[in-house]
Amino acid sequence: GENVEQHPSTLSVQEGDSAVIKCTYSDSASNYFPWYKQELGKRPQLIIDIRSNVGEKKDQRIAVTLNKTAKHFSLHITETQPEDSAVYFCAARNTGTASKLTFGTGTRLQVTL
């Protein structure tokens, strides 16, 4: 089955700096890669997603890049703000009749003043 690895597990950046979270996946047939943000004590929320036919997608201060050859994708947050502090989860969906969404273990991002 699919295996998703996420790094780093914790990340601390100063306000205004950029943050990058990286994920690798094992199933080359995976075709959909969402990112979820979970603030402390709250529900996970989808913040951005990308499909395998696209290499990069941006939404204001967040962007996701996908390298299908290397089987890795990354979340980039620019000009970080304190409200970006949360746990971020990547995920990969494999294809086929038994498609599943496999999550990474999460990255705790702390944006310090």
Residues interacting with other proteins, by CB under 8 A? 4, 32, 34, 36, 42-46, 49, 89, 91, 93, 99-106
Task: State in angstroms the smallest separation of the CB of 104 from other proteins.
Answer: 6
Task: State in angstroms the smallest separation of the CB of 60 from other proteins.
Answer: 18
Dihedral of alpha carbons 9, 59, 26, 40, sign: positive
Question: Whose CA is closest to 10, among 112, 108, 77?
Answer: 108
The smaller minimum CB distance to other proteins, of residues 27 and 80, is found at 27
Task: State in angstroms the smallest separation of the CB of 103 from other proteins.
Answer: 4
Task: State in angstroms the smallest separation of the CB of 15 from other proteins.
Answer: 27
Using CA atoms, how far residue 16 sits from 48, 72, 83, 85, 113, in Å, is 20, 26, 12, 12, 9
The smaller minimum CB distance to other proteins, of residues 20 and 47, is found at 47
The smaller minimum CB distance to other proteins, of residues 19 and 23, is found at 23
110 close to 10: Cβ distance less than 8 angstroms:
yes
